[in-house]
Each structure stands twice: as C-alpha cells, then as structure tokens.
A and B are shown apart, each in its own frame.
Chain A
C-alpha cells in the first residue's frame, strides 16, 4: 500500500495570484510607492512630451488655417504688384496644379502649349529636388560643390563638362544621397533641359512683368490693395484683361482681407505722428521710442480704447490746425514788422520799455508783435546768447532792450528776415504731416485691431513651434526622443533595483511559500504582477502629472489658443499609450528580480539570522 503518490502540482489560477498579490502590496505600500514614483516620473515625462507635441501640432495647424486669408492676400498683392523673379517662378511652376487657374495664367503669359508648360513643370520639380539636395548638405560641402551660387546659378554653372566632373568627384565622397536617380545622366539631362527651357521661362517672366505694368497703368493712383478692397465684377474684368485669373470665392476672401489691411494701415499710420505716439506712450506707460504697432492695436481692440483713439486723433488734429494758424499769424506779424524802418524799431522798443516801467502793457501793435518773437525757439535762443541769459529766462523786456539800440535793431531785423524765410516751409511741413481724420466707426476700429492683433500673435506663435510635425516620430525631435528613451532606461533600472531589494527583504516569505508548495511560476507571476500593478498606478499618476505639466506649458506659450485646440482624442490615445508604457516598463523591470526570487532555494526558509 502506497500512501504517498507524487503527481504534478497544480498551478494557481491567475485570479488567486492576483488576490495574493494585492494582499501583499497593501502590506508594503511604502516599498510600492518607490516603484510607483519612478514609473510615474518616466510616464509623466512621456505624457508631457506627447501632450505638448500634440497640442503644438494642433495649434500650428489651426494658426495656419486662420492665417490662410492673410497669406492669400500677401500672395496676390505680390503677384499683382511685383514682377516675378526666376527663382519664384521656378517654385511656382513646381507647385502649380495642372489645369488650375494659376496654370492657365502661366500659359497665357508665356504663350505656351500644354506640353511646353508640362515640361517646364517637370524641370522645375527636378530642379527643386536638386535644390533640396544642396539644402541638405552642410555649408562647407555645399560651398565645395557650387561655391556661393544660389538658385538657377547653382544649376546652370554645371553645363560646363569640367565642372560637372568636379561636382561628381566631390559629391560621391559625401554621405548625402545624390538627387534624382543619383546618376550623372539624370543631372546631365536636368542641366540640358533647364538650359533649353530658359527662353520659355523668360517669356513667362516678361509676360507677367507686362501684366503687372499694364495693371499699374489701369489702376492709376489706386493701389493694388485698394482695388482688391473694392473687389467687384469690374475688378475681375480688369484682372482678366491682364491675364490674371481669380475666382469669385477667392475674390471675396481677398476683399475682406484687403479692407482690413487698408483700415489697419490707416490706424497704424497714426503712429507716424509724434504727438499721437506721445499720447499712446503716456496711456500705456511706456517709452515713446518703444511704441510699436502692437500697442496701438491693443488700445484699439477695446471699445473704450477705440473711442479714445478717435478722440485723440481729433484733438491732435485740432491742436495741429491751431498751431498752423498761429504760425501763419506770426508770419503776418513778421511781414508787418519788417515794414518798419531800422529807426522805427528802437522807437517802438523804447516806448514799450517805458510802458512796462510805468506798470502798464506795451500799447503799440508792433511792440506786442515784437514780443511774439520769443515764441520762436531759434530767436529766443539767439537773444539769450546776445544778452548772456539762459534762453528759458528770456522775456519780452530783453527783446525791447536789444531792439532799443540801432545796432540791436539791425540784428533783430536779420533775425526776423531769417524767420520769415523759414516759416512758410514749417507751415508746409506741418500741413503735410497733419493727421488724416480717423473716419472709421468705433466698431470697425475694434474689429480691425482685434483681427490684426490676433494675426500678429499667431505669426509670433508659429515661430514658437519647435518641430515640423511631419518630420518626426510622434512629433518629437531627436533630442526629445533620446531623453525619453533615457528616462525609460533609468526607470527600468530603478524599478529593478527596488524589486531586487524587495526580493531580498522577502526571501524568507518566498522560501516559506515554496516549502508550502508554491511553484516557481507562481513566484514569478506574483512579482511581475505586483510590479505591473504598481506600473499601472504609476502610469495613472504620471498621465495626470504629465498632462498638467504639458497643458501648463502649452497654455503659457499659446494662451487660450491651446485650450481651443485640445486634441482630445489624441490626448486620450496618448494616455492609453502611456498606461501601456508604464505597465510594460514595470513588468519588464520585474522580470529579473522575479527570476531571482523564483530560483531562491526553499531551504532558505530554515535559515536563522
């Protein structure tokens, strides 16, 4: 009779492992918190990077969309107002869609057939590839290949056999792959075709230049912007006459944008006036020389500010008008005074001095006009110099004193003649610089300022985006990707260390479990499971932290624009990725410690320290 029969030990169902595992974690919360902490840091870093990268990308796309009209306007203003350069034509031809309106424009200007333009496009595309290749080289390499040539020149100079040989000898040594098929034949063909198509390109350029000129003639005094702001059927006709093809929906967009641009120009023109600048600087508490377009736009974007602007323009204007009137009056006075003979002036002056001494006012008109001379800075300064007084202290008495002697009278007359010659120019200057009245209604000012301010902010934000979205892994730069990988490695090492310590602490428990019939697999499972659970907790905390940090960073950089552009689905996806990463990192880190634990000999349970 056999009492002991040996069979295979059953393995514990995962559910039981899980229960035992959770039971243990509750008891070892402190030790667990180390693993949780390490994992949460790594995950927080990843989550922060993911969320900022996604938010940045979204913001970038949004900004790009919002500024589309503005870009369209800039493009058209340039197209309608400035003759194209060869480089620009190349880029335009490479980017143009076959059969589009722009395509037809090019054909019309150059008088080309479909095939000719297609060939031109193919050359332009290959040319772009070639330029892209040059762009990828570092400056030293580039200079060795093409010197400091740019654009067309950088290609055209290769038409020389010797130079082409040289180019290939050097380029082969660089690690950057050659453009196109990478063969000499390809580049030879491109150079040849580029040279062949040059006359056609020049025809287009000439055609476009003629169109620009013709349009300018038609517009007369009006600017392109004004024409676009008008934006009616007549505009389309004018444009069509010169070969420009614009469809009505684009015209609508251009009209709105051009109107805004014109109005904004009018508002920004206020900055050219010294007095307005001073008022604005005063209102905002900045230095006059620091006053920038954004300041006036900021003031204008509130109703109160806009009203203030309008009022200021009005008072400034009135002041200026009054000043001009005063200048004209003093010009009249000068003319009157100059009619006096050299002897007349001492007489007037002496009489005036006597009047003053008697405690009264000078009685003659001439005397009062003479006193008016010190209102002119130059004269005041000259008189100050003559009587050896600080110009600030110069009063009418000094004028009369100077004028009371014959020599002084002659000197005064010289001064008055100089002034008479100067004043008309100053009046003309002031009239020219006279502010245009701001005729925009307050609501429009607010609207335009807000729109322009947003555009300014947007273009500034675009420069703040770190990485071009398409060129990277999850939108990370190489450096960020490395940092993340390093943080993972540090995390795994840290968790492994914490788990090894845990194994050392629990060796008696583990050995006892093995004496009680635990399989090696059970020990492995509970350790990996414990770590995974801690990874889960760490991941959750990390997501929260990372999101918080990432959002703070984005808010700091982009303000409410970031909130308006929360890519919720992507963030949710990132959170999912982060949880998985946290669990996987923790589980991976636990494999070695778990293996050590599983191999612990059961007889360790008997050991007594």
Chain B
C-alpha cells in the first residue's frame, strides 16, 4: 500500500520512529447533500495517530471535529478517502466485523455520558462485555475492577439518575474500558462538567493512557487538556489547521486563545 503524498503540513512526530501507527487517515473527505446545497464537512484530512498517544482535537463547533471522530471510530463512512485502523481498512469491514471493532477495540466516551438509564453502574459497565460474550461472575468481577479504577466501586448499584454528572462520566469511562480497547474516543468528555470535575476526568483519562497504554483521542475545548496531550490537532473548516507537539504549543500558548474564537 502506497501512502499518498502528505499535502497537509504535519509536524515532526515525537519518537515517531519507535511508535507504530494505530490510526491512519488518507485524504478523508465527507460531504452532506442537503437539498441542493452540498456541505463539505471534511475536505481531505490525512493524519497518522500513533499507538499510546494522547491526541487532543480542538476546533470550533461546526469545524468537522465530530465528523472526523465518527470516521475514525468506524461509526460513519467517508465520502472519499480511507481510514486504516491498525492497517485494517475500515471501509472493507462488514456490519458484523464493524460491531466487533466497536465492541472490543474502540471505547467511546460521549459528552452526554449515554448511560442506559434503567441499569445500575455495574450493569452499564458489563453491557459491552455481554456483547463480547463475557457474562456471569467473570463480567461482574471485571466490572467491579473497572469501577474501582474510576473510584466508584462503592456506588456500583446506583442508577445514573442517582449520580452526579462527573460520576456518570466516570461510569461511562469504566464502560468504555470494558473490553480493554486499544483506542479511546472521547467526544468532549468534560463539555457538560464543571472545571474541577472536568479535571478529575482528565486525570483518569491520562492515567489510562499512561498505565494501560491506551491511545486516547479527545475532542475538547478545554485548554487545560493541552498540558496532558502528546500532540494537539486543530481542525477548521474541515481541514487540519495545525498539528503540533505539546512542547511546541506551550511556547505559543498566548497565540492559541486568539485562534480559537470561542
């Protein structure tokens, strides 16, 4: 497989030589037909994401951030271009293989937590295990371990409605880790949370990234996350505006605020 010439300016990848690539996109384009108007959500994104990397994706609303996420997470198919997850072309997978991929290889964290309302914390965590064919005491044990990991072991029997937003998001993180995925896709995980709780969530994500070597891709508006990231990607108008290592960003921190237009 030949890699198309990289048109977008990509910064030098730190330790790129040692770390293998886990997600690679090739000139990813997505457009929506809305009546007679064609909206271009993505205008050709080519990027390589490394294993074990903590990547923050930033950009204003409507920049194509979410579309990019859907493509990378195997939730939507691109109009043109390709997504390779560990050198597997996502477009080649059928529905059942896609379900397998979503179930075991990628964990999803949503801004709105999306816990199943009628299940307890533990039941929520074990749902993906059930889909993976793990059930019974085995699943319960692993579920409790994961809840312990996010610090909610004592509240395993609580329903989402009985928990705060931060606690719900922690349960959601435990759930996303249910089948030991390689990749965590977080879509503004702290968007609905206050600063302090947000920081706790960030800490948990970083810990998973460091301790378990999970690749974390995190869409966010929160600048504090930049501190934890290995690399930061800015998306604007469906294209990569900038891709920088963390150390490059700190220097230009003053300029970032001006760019964001929040």
Contact = CB atoms under 8 A, between A and B. Distances in A.
Nearest to A518: B131
A131 B187 CA distance: 84
Nearest to B172: A512
Contacts of B117: 27, 509
Interface in B112-146: 112, 114, 116-119, 123, 127-128, 130-133, 135
Nearest to A28: B118
A606 B102 contact: no
A16 interface: yes
Contact of B114 (A16, A601, A605): A605
Contacts of A553: none
7 contacts: A1-B20, A4-B101, A4-B182, A6-B93, A7-B97, A515-B73, A515-B75
B199 interface: no
B99 A27 contact: no
Given A4-B86, A608-B111, A519 B99 contact: yes
B100 A7 contact: yes
B116 A603 contact: no
B156 interface: no
Nearest to A24: B118
Given A24-B118, A516-B127, A6 B95 contact: no
B88 A605 contact: no
B108 A515 contact: yes
Interface string A263-280: 000000000000000000
B75 A601 contact: yes
A605 B102 CA distance: 13
Contact of A508 (B22, B86, B103, B114): B114
A221 interface: no
Contact of A606 (B66, B95, B130, B175): B66
Interface in B164-194: 175, 178-179, 182, 187
Contact of B116 (A1, A512, A514): A512
A520 interface: yes
Given A508-B112, A517-B128, A519-B99, A603 B75 contact: yes
Contacts of B96: 8-9, 519
A403 to B, nearest CB: 112
Contact of B76 (A1, A520, A601): A601
Contacts of A508: 112, 114
A298 B20 CA distance: 103
Given A23-B118, A23-B119, A516 B86 contact: no
A: contact size bracket: 35 or more
B260 interface: no
A358 interface: no
Nearest to B183: A4
Contacts of B175: 516
Interface in A532-589: none
A26 interface: yes
Contacts of B86: 2-4
Among A4, A24, A509, which residue has the most Cβ atoms of chain B within 10 A? A4
A16 B134 CA distance: 11
Contacts, number: 111
B155 interface: no
A12 interface: yes
Nearest to A604: B75
A493 B110 CA distance: 35
Quick one: which of A3, A20, A511, A601 has the most chain B CB within 10 A?
A3
B87 interface: yes
A393 interface: no
Contacts of A512: 110, 114, 116
Contacts of A522: 131
Given A12-B131, A516-B102, A516-B175, A605 B108 contact: yes
Given A3-B86, A9-B103, A606-B111, 17 more contacts: A4-B86, A4-B105, A6-B88, A6-B101, A6-B105, A8-B96, A9-B97, A10-B131, A10-B132, A12-B133, A27-B117, A27-B118, A509-B114, A519-B131, A602-B102, A605-B108, A606-B187
Contacts of B101: 4, 6
Contacts of A514: 99, 102
A1 B182 CA distance: 14
A28 B118 CA distance: 9
B85 interface: yes
Interface in B1-29: 20, 22
Nearest to B70: A603
B75 A602 contact: yes
A602 B77 CA distance: 11
A426 B25 CA distance: 126
A509 B99 contact: no
A513 interface: yes
B66 A16 contact: no
B104 interface: yes
Contacts of A16: 130, 135
A516 B97 contact: no
B75 A517 contact: no
A601 B98 CA distance: 12
Given A6-B100, A517-B104, A605 B110 contact: yes
Contacts of B70: 603, 606
Contact of B128 (A24, A516, A606): A516
